Structures are given as C-alpha cells and as structure tokens.
Amino acid sequence: MSGAAQTALAAPAGPARRAVRDPLVAALVGLCLAAAAGLLVAPPAPYLVNALGQLAAFAILAVSLDLVWGYLGILSLGHGLFFAIGGYVCAMHLLAHGVAATGVLPDFVQFMGWTRLPAYWAGLDHAAYAFVLALAVAGLVAFVFGLASFRSRVNGVYFSIISQALVYVAMLLMYRNDTGLGGNNGMTGFPLLFGWPMGSPGVVTGLAVAALLTLAAVLAGTRLLVGSAVGRRMLACRDDETRLRTLGYSTTRLKLGIWCLSAMIAALAGILYVPQVGIINPRVLAPDLSIEIAVWVAIGGLGRLGGAVIGAILVNGLKFWLSAAMPEAWPFILSGLVLVVVLVLPNGLLDLVDWRPRPTWLRGAR
C-alpha cells in the first residue's frame, strides 16, 4: 500500500465527514434501543413482540447484504445461505439442548433410525460453542467461495448468478433426508431456550429485545466501518476497482474481508430468527428468498445502511399484514413496488426524502 494513496484516502473529504454523522442511522439505533426498553417495560401482545423481533432479524440480514452490495458493488443472490447456516446451527443447538435436558430425541432423528445424535452434534448443547460455530462455519464458507471468486475476478452479474447457484445447490442438498438435518421437514419442536420453556412470554420478549439490541449494535458497528478509512476504500473499490488496485491496494483482500464479515452478520440474523419462528427448513435456501433480501435493500435505499433497515422492515411489515389480509394481491404489490423503485427511485424510498445528494456512481444512470 503506498503511503501517498493512504493519506489521500484517509483524509476525510466533505461527504466522508458527513457520512460519519449519519442522522438516519443514529435515529434508527435510538429507535431500536427505545423499542427494546419499551418491550421490557410494557410488552404488548406476544404476537406483536414476536413480529417485531422477526423484523429486527430481517433488518440485520438486509444490513449484511447492503454492506457488500451498496458499499462494495457485489450483489450476492446467495445470502440466504449464510442466514440458513446461522439458523441451522441455532436449531441444532436448541435440539441438542433439549436432548441434554429432557433426554427425548427429536422426531427426525428417530425417523432416521438413529438412537442418539450423530457425533458432529457433540458440544452443540453449549450455547457459546454453538454461537461461535455458526459464525465460524458461515465465515469459512464465505471465505472459500469468496477467495475462489475474487481471486479469479468473478464479479458483477457473474458473481450474482454463481452465488445464486450456490444457494440453490445448498437447498437441493438440504432437501435430501440423507443429509441428516431434518430433510424437507427441517427442524422444529424446540423445547427449551437456556433452560426456559420456548414460547413463554418472557422468552418471546427476551428474544425480541435481543434482536433489537443486536440490530442496534450491527447498525452502529457497520456505520463506524463504512465511515472509516476501510469504508472509503470500499467505496473506491465499488466505483473503480481497477484504479484502486493500480494504486496498490489489495482489492481481493478487502473484498474478501468485508464479504466474510457480511456472511457472519447474516448468520447472526439467522441465529436470532430461528428461535423466534420455532422452525428451520430448506425453504430459507430457496433462490427466491435470497433475491427478496436484495429487494428489501433496493426498496429501502441501496448504499445506505438505514435504507436497508427501512426497506426490510417496510417490505416484511407489509408482507406480514398483506399476506394475511389479501394473499392474492401481495405478489402484485411487491413486483409493482420493485419496478417503481427500480425505474423511478434508483436510490430507493430514501429518494423521496432527499437526505443527501445522489452518489456520483448512480448519477446519469437513468
């Protein structure tokens, strides 16, 4: 890395300084903390608490994708894979915890004809180990896939297609009963969480609060990251990778690092999501779901962390409401929303409230 280039990039220019003080992110973090406090003081109906917790998990997932798509220009259509890794490891922990506490084997294990959990489940009943394992597996898969792709300079739509194929392959694998993680039924029937019965109001509230606090932490952390020198390098890489590489930066290392971080954040979202819905099955690996994550980000506002959160909450909130109220109409509304956003509001709904000038890389795009 040449010293001159580093100073040039490190010196905060106008927009960069503004980026550190992001009122939207600050507001969202504050809102998350306030909501968490509100839940603890006066919890509303459990289903609302649960919905809020799920929305927070989706928002974390959206932030993880925005980090690579909005700030590095890498559109992953396979982020459902990392979400599912977190979810599956979490489900394995919950089941192993249940077995350790009650001694009753889960249904699918009995269905496979096993008399005890397979060897690779060893230790999963310890929450800390399971947590580390989930993040490690997600990071490792991302590392291998990212290393292979970024080194051979697979990018743009190629990367998108290949990542979609990756999640599709994973879905096919998990649909097989022989793979051993519940097959097409997935895993469900979690009895306990840290020794407390699943589904009791206290656990529901606790999970939602945990999700909201994690969202706040992830938002604040990623905000700090994209406001730092690394963040400016990310933008430079997105806007002109060749130039950044010519200047002496290892774009492969940069992309790989952020890509793995993003995968681990997505796994975090999966970890928080599964105990709240009480089930994980291969459907979270469907390519459509992974595209939907990109849709949340695009609708909310690509390249702004707050936009990703708003998009995820808006789309999923609408989905919760409309797929019950008028299930026929929901796909039409979603596709219409995507087309309107893509054609009219290239920066997502945040264009409606002009928070700041459009980034240069999108100027003149239409």
Partner 1 sequence: MADPLRALLALCCLALLTVSAAAAPLDRAAFAADLCGDGAAQVRGAEGLVQAAGDLPADDLAFAGGLLGALAERRLSCPADGAVLLDRPGAPEGRDARTGAVRPAAEARAPILGLRQRAAVETARGTVALLTGPDPAARSAGLAVLERRIATVPASVLDRARDAETDAALKATIAGLAQAAALSSPDPARRRVAIAAVAASPSGAAEARLAALKSDPAYAADPAFRAALDAGLAKVSRAVAIGDGLAVVYNGLSFASILFMAAAGLAIIFGLMGVINLAQGEFIMLGAYATYGVQEAFRRLAPGLLDLYLLAAIPVAFGAVALVGITVEALILRHLYRRPLMSLLATWAVSLFLVNLVRVTVGTQNLQFVMPAYVSGGVPLYADFVMTWNRLFAIAFAAATLVLTLLILRRTPLGLDIRAVTQNRDMAACLGLPTRRVDRLAFGLGSGLAGLAGVALCPIYSVNPGMGSGFIVDSFMVVVLGGVGSLLGTLVAALGVGGANVLIEPISGAVAAKVIVLVGIILFLQRRPEGLFAVRRRR
Q: How far is the CB of 359 from partner 1 (least distance, A)?
A: 13
- The conformational region for residue 303 under phi > 0 = left, psi -120 to 50 = alpha, else beta, is left
Chain center to CA of 207: 17
Q: Which residues share a beta bridge with 279?
A: 188
Q: How far is the CB of 282 from partner 1 (least distance, A)?
A: 11
Q: Which is nearer to partner 1, 168 or 190 (CB)?
A: 168
Chain center to CA of 221: 14
Q: Which is nearer to partner 1, 47 or 332 (CB)?
A: 332
Neighbour tally for 154: CB within 10 Å: 15
Q: How far is the CB of 82 from partner 1 (least distance, A)?
A: 16
**One-letter amino acid of 49:** V
Task: Write out the residues near partner 1 by the rule CB under 8 A.
Answer: 69, 75, 148-149, 151-154, 156-158, 160-162, 164-166, 168-169, 172-173, 175-176, 287-288, 291, 294-295, 298, 328, 331-332, 334-336, 338-339, 342-343, 346, 362, 364-366
Q: Which is nearer to partner 1, 244 or 334 (CB)?
A: 334
Q: Which is nearer to partner 1, 30 or 336 (CB)?
A: 336
Q: How far is the CB of 230 from partner 1 (least distance, A)?
A: 23
Residue the block writes with tokens 């490891």: 89
CA distance between the termini of the chain: 36
- Are 290 and 79 in contact by the 8 Å Cβ rule? The answer is yes
Q: Which is nearer to partner 1, 227 or 311 (CB)?
A: 311
Q: How far is the CB of 169 from partner 1 (least distance, A)?
A: 5
For residue 71, what are its two tokens? 């700030």
- Are 36 and 213 in contact by the 8 Å Cβ rule? The answer is yes
C-alpha triplet 320, 207, 93: angle, nearest 5°: 110
Q: Within a 13 Å sphere around the CA of 51, how many CA atoms are in the beta-carbon half? A: 14
CA 47 vs CA 52, 76, 156: distances in Å = 9, 32, 40
Q: How far is the CB of 162 from partner 1 (least distance, A)?
A: 6
Distance from C-alpha of 84 to C-alpha of 69, rounded to nearest angstrom: 19
Q: How far is the CB of 59 from partner 1 (least distance, A)?
A: 19
- The conformational region for residue 89 under phi > 0 = left, psi -120 to 50 = alpha, else beta, is alpha
Q: Which is nearer to partner 1, 262 or 276 (CB)?
A: 262
Q: Which is nearer to partner 1, 282 or 306 (CB)?
A: 282
